[in-house]
Structure 1
Amino acid sequence: MTLVLVVVGALVGAPLRYVTDRLVQARHDTPFPWGTFVVNVCGSFVLGGLGGAGTALPASILALAGTGFCGALTTFSTFSFETLRLAEQRAYFYATLNVLVSVVAGLGAALLGYTVVSSALG
Structure 2
Amino acid sequence: MTQKRTHVRTTALMFAAVFVGGATGSLLRELFSVNIPGAGWLTQTFGINIVACFVLGWLYSVRNRVHAHVLHLGAVGFCGGLSTFSSFVADLERLAMANIWAAASAAALEIAAGLAAAILGEAIGRRIHLQRASK
TM-score, normalized by length of structure 1? 0.88
Please name the residue that 2:87 is paired with: 78
Please name the residue that 1:119 is paired with: 127
Please name the residue that 1:40 is paired with: 49
Q: How far did residue 85 of structure 1 move? A: 2.9
Distance 1:29 1:110 in 2: 23
Q: How far did residue 23 of structure 1 move? A: 1.4
Deviating 4+ runs (over 2 angstroms)? 28-32
Q: How many pairs are equivalent?
A: 118
TM-score, normalized by length of structure 2? 0.80
Distance 1:97 1:6 in 2: 33
Distance 2:42 2:54 in 1: 21
Q: How far did residue 31 of structure 1 move? A: 5.4
Distance 2:50 2:42 in 1: 15
Please name the residue that 1:110 is paired with: 118
- The residue identity in structure 2 corresponding to 1:14 is S
The answer (yes or no) to whether the contact 1:21–1:38 under 8 Å persists in 2 is no
Distance 1:31 1:44 in 2: 20
Please name the residue that 1:8 is paired with: 20
Q: 1:30 is paired with a residue of what secondary structure?
A: coil
- Percent pairwise identity: 31
Q: How far did residue 3 of structure 1 move? A: 0.4
Q: 2:64 is paired with a residue of what secondary structure?
A: helix
Q: 1:32 is paired with a residue of what secondary structure?
A: coil
The answer (yes or no) to whether the contact 1:52–1:117 under 8 Å persists in 2 is yes
